[in-house]
Chain A
Amino acid sequence: MIPAKFDYVRPSSVEEAVSALQQAGEDAKILAGGQSLLPVLRLRMAAPSTVIDLGGIPELKRIGEDDQYVMVGAMATHHEVMRNDLIKQHVELISQATETVADPQVRHRGTLGGALAHADPAGDLGAAALALDAEFVILGSGGTRLVPAAEFFQDYFTTAIGEGEILTMIRFPKYTGWKTHYEKFNRVAQAWSMVAVAVALKVDGGSISEARIGLTNMGNVPIRATGVERALVGQAAGPDVAKAAAEHATEGTSAPSDADAAADYREHLAKVLTGRAVLAAAG
């Protein structure tokens, strides 16, 4: 099928994009890489009156750094994120999670900002962004606001991005030298996570001094596994420690049941994958 008719706008600056969005009203949709939006439009699950394409705004693709942060423009593609040296060096967990997303064709088009704004509970980047306390730069007619990851993901496919607003940038505190791993379990023919675990560990003199762990698809939004984090701190990462800590992986979760997996199976997966991810990160 093909999408229903819509008007198409391709602004060349973020200011133009915001005013186009305001003008078009509540039926407008932003188009980033189109890898989630176009399938939705083709299936006629949405029929926006206006589509505002962010593809003509070069500044939204920029990836840069300052002393504390790596800043990634919302329109940086998965392909660009995966291969970026700044991201590899300071927030490697994002490179690792991005490598598991979809397939080469989708990664050539799909963007970091689009994936996070889409907020699919089975999407891979939310848990990593949450674990790393990413911050979301959101622009509206009233100017820019900064939303922490813990407040960004609000519900199933729902984020803090309001009507008339655009996500312009995601900034990540630097975790240089941390040990990270993204462990994902998916059906072979589809890349979407049934469950996945994002782990970042700071290891000092053989023992874990800080742990950050995010869970994918264990609830309507990405979830921080704080029980696991607490159980790891002060320990030397080994199989017994990882296994004991992983027992806490289901605390505070509300795993969905669907055609891929029942909730209790997801809970089992969360524990097994957490154990594996901690060991692989500590590796």
Chain B
Amino acid sequence: MTEVRVTVDGVNYADDVEPRMLLAQYLRETLGKTGTLIGCDTSNCGACTVSLNGQSVKSCSVLAVQADGAEVTTIEGLARDGTLHPVQEAFRECHGLQCGYCTPGMIMAAVDLLGDNPDPTEQEVREGIEGNLCRCTGYQNIVRAVQSAAKTMKPGAAQPTEQAAPVAGGGN
């Protein structure tokens, strides 16, 4: 067993884990954060996407021990005091989901994209979510949701709430 110390969604944890434990497994099984999903065995689907030290990663393709000392934000850490993150809100508004299986990963990938590129073109949105597969929507409304979120998150744009939108990876 090896010790890992991580901050996940703003809370510090220290756990002894087997080195072979995947970060996705650690989040779901040790911490009970089942908002992060696992959809494949081949690192293709992106359902497991979380933010690791401010960068999106596929948590099925990172060992928990590799996250030692890191800050992780999952889909469960995006909402603030019961208010959805603008990207979450935009997925709801624009019907950016059907079954919802890809949604946590899609949203985490979109948050990463917008942190990097606050005003992406349609093509840039498609490239930004290239690592995430959706079997239901045909992507159309997902792309629309991300672009709509970009508008709400723009500095100076009328925010749906008083609160500033948390930035990508901001697990504060």
Contact = CB atoms under 8 A, between A and B. Distances in A.
Interface string B1-39: 010000000000000001111100100000000000000
Given A4-B20, A43-B41, A109 B57 contact: yes
Which of B2, B52, B56, B63 gathers most chain A CB within 10 Å? B63
A79 interface: yes
Given A106-B43, A106-B131, A35 B56 contact: no
Which of B20, B46, B58, B133 gathers most chain A CB within 10 Å? B20
A102 interface: yes
B42 interface: yes
The size bracket of the interface on B is 20 to 34
Contact of A2 (B21, B62, B65): B21
Nearest to B44: A190
Contact of B130 (A4, A42, A51, A103): A103
B62 A8 contact: no
B71 interface: no
Contacts of A43: 41-42
B148 to A, nearest CB: 20
Interface residues of A, number: 31
Contacts of B141: none
Contact of A51 (B19, B56, B109): B19
Given A3-B20, A8-B19, A42-B41, A104 B61 contact: no
B52 to A, nearest CB: 8
A108 interface: yes
Given A8-B2, A191-B130, 6 more contacts: A2-B25, A31-B63, A53-B65, A104-B128, A109-B57, A190-B44
